């Protein structure tokens, strides 16, 4: 680990610290806080723009900080006291960065019969959003579409819950449900609404051609507007007393079932 003597030591009143606090509070859409060793490993594995790196030498990290500093537009040294104020984690390794989230163009994506898409309607919690992104990545799905979302992709908890795949998984947001539905139709997707009340089981579908699943929020389920689009529903049978599963778990079951059909598992 090389010490960076040119990196200025800054305090709590420095504009860069105030900027980091804004990002930490999820008040800077398009930018996200990255904190910790594995989180930076994932960051450096992508071409993500790294706006600023904050390093606390007193944290005693063994991480090669040069790797981060060489990628960052600005590098700062902070004290252990300031680190405690800025950190969201019990152990951050003294490494914090502000990264710019990638912007995905819905018109630049191309699909095949093997394509899978997940639509999350009204997602409320950052942890769920991050887990949905991680699930999309794990199932080799093409992208996540957000409609009526409440949680922002820029929330720091999204980075942790997605295991950093927020930087490599296309996430598209549509302001209107009708626009998202039209986009799916235009690309030839067979769209299935995840609905506990649906008659058809998710295991009884062939999943031929481009396939999309639409899952709803934990509290309210799918909005009436998605039901009004005329798409069919699939259900996951509930065998116990609970009437539904966590949205990310449901999405994982559906995506992997479709992926198994498409890949011949």
SS3 content of the chain, % helix, strand, coil (to 5): 35, 20, 45
Report pLDDT for 5.
56
CA distances from 21 to 37, 83, 88, 130, 215 (A): 20, 11, 11, 21, 33
pLDDT for residue 3 is more than 60: no
Alpha helices (H) in 87-140, listed in sequence order: 126-138
Per-residue pLDDT tens digits for 124-149: 999 999 999 999 999 999 999 999 98
pLDDT: is 111 or 205 the higher one?
111
* Tally of CA atoms within 13 A in the half-sphere of 49 that contains its CB: 8
Q: Over the stretch 78-93, which tens digit does the pLDDT of each residue have?
A: 999 999 999 998 777 8
Please report, to the nearest 10 degrees, the dihedral formed by the alpha carbons of residues 84, 89, 91, 97 taken in order. -80
* Cα–Cα distance for residue pair 75/2, rounded to 1 Å: 13
**Is the pTM here over 0.85, yes or no?**
yes
CB 48 within 8 A of CB 169: no
Q: Which residue has the higher pLDDT, 204 or 94?
A: 94
SS3 250: helix
Q: Considering the chain, what is the average pLDDT of its residues?
A: 93
Query: With pLDDT > 90 as the criterion, what percentage of the chain qualifies?
Result: 81
Q: How confident is the model at residue 198 (pLDDT cuts 50, 70, 90)?
A: confident
Please, what are the domains in the chain?
15-100 (3.30.1330.30), 116-263 (3.40.1280.10)
Sign of CA dihedral 120, 125, 131, 137: positive
């Amino acid at each position: 680990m090389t010490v960076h003597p040119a990196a200025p030591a800054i305090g709590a009143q420095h504009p860069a610290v105030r900027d980091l606090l804004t990002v930490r509070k999820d008040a800077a859409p398009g930018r996200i806080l990255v904190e910790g060793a594995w989180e930076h490993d994932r960051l450096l594995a992508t071409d993500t723009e790294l706006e600023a790196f904050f390093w606390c030498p007193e944290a005693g990290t063994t991480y090669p900080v040069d790797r981060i500093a060489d990628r960052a537009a600005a590098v700062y040294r902070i004290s252990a006291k300031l680190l405690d104020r800025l950190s969201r984690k019990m152990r951050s390794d003294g490494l914090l960065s502000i990264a710019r989230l990638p912007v995905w163009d819905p018109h630049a994506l191309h699909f095949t019969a093997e394509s899978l898409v997940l639509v999350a309607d009204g997602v409320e919690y950052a942890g769920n959003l991050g887990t949905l992104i991680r699930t999309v990545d794990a199932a080799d799905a093409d992208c996540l579409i957000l409609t009526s979302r409440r949680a922002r992709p820029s929330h720091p908890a999204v980075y942790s819950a997605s295991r950093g795949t927020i930087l490599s998984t296309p996430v598209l947001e549509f302001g209107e449900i009708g626009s998202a539905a039209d986009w799916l139709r235009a690309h030839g997707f067979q769209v299935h609404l995840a609905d506990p009340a649906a008659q058809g089981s998710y295991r009884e579908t062939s999943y031929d051609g481009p396939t999309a699943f639409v899952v709803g929020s934990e509290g309210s389920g799918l909005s009436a507007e998605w039901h009004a689009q005329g798409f069919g529903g699939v259900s996951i049978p509930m065998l116990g007393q609970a009437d539904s599963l966590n949205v990310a778990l449901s999405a994982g079951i559906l995506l992997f079932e479709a992926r198994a059909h498409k890949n011949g598992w």
